Structure 1
Amino acid sequence: MPLTPAPDTLPTNISAAILNLLLPHHRTTGHARASAEAFPHQLRQISDFVREGAPIVFTLPGFPCKSPNPAKVLGHLPDMGERLSLTFLNALCAEIERIHPPGARMVICSDGHIFGDLIGVPDEHIDAYADELRVLISGLGLERLSVFDLRDVLGDLPHDAKRSHVHEAYAPALESLRAEIGTDDHTLALYRGITRFLVEDTADYPGTRSALQRQCRQRAYGVIQRSRAWGDLIADHHPHSVRLSIHPQPIGAPKFGIRLLDAPDVWTTPWHSAALHRADGSWTLMSRTRAAQQGRLVLRDGRPSHFTQGRAA
Structure 2
Amino acid sequence: MSGLSSHQIAREIFAELLPYRRRFPDPILDRHSEEQEVAAIQIPRLQAFIERGETITCVLPAFPTKSPNPNKVLGTLPDMAERLSLSFLNHLCQRIQLHYAPGMRILICSDGHVFGDLIRVPDPAIDAYQAHIEQLILELGATHLGVFHLGMVAGMAEFCASRDFDTLREQLVERYAEPLAQISEEVKTTEEGVRLYRAMTRFLYEDSQLPDTPLSNTALQRDAKSRTHAVIQRSRAWGNLLAERFPAAIRLSIHPQASHSLKMGIHMLPTRDDWLTPWHGVAANLDGQFVLMKRRDVLALEHELVHIHGRPSHYLIHSKQAAA
TM tier, smaller: over 0.9
Tell me the residue number matched to 1:282.
Answer: 289
Contact 2:37 2:259 in 1 (8 A): no
Tell me the residue number matched to 1:13.
Answer: 8
> Hey, what's the Cα distance between the residues in 1 that align with 2:217 and 2:318?
38
> Hey, what's the Cα distance between the residues in 2 that align with 1:310 and 1:107?
36
The reply on whether 1:295 has 2:294 as its aligned counterpart is no
Contact 1:63 1:112 in 2 (8 A): yes
1:109-163 Cα distance to aligned partner (Å, 9 max, x none): 0110011000010101101111101101001100000111112222214111111
Task: Give the drift of 1:93.
Answer: 0.5
Contact 1:39 1:253 in 2 (8 A): no
> Hey, what's the Cα distance between the residues in 2 that align with 1:285 and 1:300?
18
3-state DSSP of counterpart to 1:99: coil
State which of 235, 258, 265 in structure 2 corresponds to 1:227: 235
- TM-score computed with the length of structure 2 as normaliser: 0.90
List alignment gaps of at least 5 residues for structure 2. Answer: 320-324
Task: Give the drift of 1:252.
Answer: 3.0
> Hey, what's the Cα distance between the residues in 2 that align with 1:73 and 1:297?
12
Give the percent of matched residue pairs that are identical in Structure 1 and Structure 2.
44
What letter is aligned with 2:199? G
What letter is aligned with 1:176? Q
> Hey, what's the Cα distance between the residues in 1 that align with 2:191 and 2:213?
30
- TM-score computed with the length of structure 1 as normaliser: 0.93
The reply on whether 1:28 has 2:23 as its aligned counterpart is yes
Tell me the residue number matched to 1:152.
Answer: 152
What letter is aligned with 1:161? T
Tell me the residue number matched to 1:237.
Answer: 245
Tell me the residue number matched to 1:163.
Answer: 169
Contact 2:35 2:259 in 1 (8 A): no
Q: Which residues in structure 2 correspond to 1:8-87 (within 5 Å)? A: 10-30=5-25, 32-33=31-32, 34-35=34-35, 38-87=38-87
Considering only aligned residues, what root-mean-square deviation do their CA atoms show, in Å? 1.6
Tell me the residue number matched to 2:257.
Answer: 249
The aligned length equals: 303
Tell me the residue number matched to 2:222.
Answer: 214
3-state DSSP of counterpart to 1:39: helix
1:210-261 Cα distance to aligned partner (Å, 9 max, x none): 2221121120101100010000111122221100001001113110010111
3-state DSSP of counterpart to 1:243: strand
Contact 2:271 2:291 in 1 (8 A): yes
Task: Give the drift of 1:91.
Answer: 0.6
Task: Give the drift of 1:50.
Answer: 0.3
> Hey, what's the Cα distance between the residues in 2 that align with 1:23 and 1:137?
24
User: CA distance change for structure 1 residues 229 and 282 in 2, over 3 Å: closer, same or farther?
Assistant: same
Contact 1:60 1:109 in 2 (8 A): yes
Tell me the residue number matched to 2:187.
Answer: 181
> Hey, what's the Cα distance between the residues in 2 that align with 1:54 and 1:80?
32
3-state DSSP of counterpart to 1:57: strand
Task: Give the drift of 1:310.
Answer: 4.9
Task: Give the drift of 1:35.
Answer: 4.0
Tell me the residue number matched to 1:98.
Answer: 98
Contact 2:271 2:292 in 1 (8 A): yes
List alignment gaps of at least 5 residues for structure 1. Answer: none
User: CA distance change for structure 1 residues 101 and 119 in 2, over 3 Å: closer, same or farther?
Assistant: same
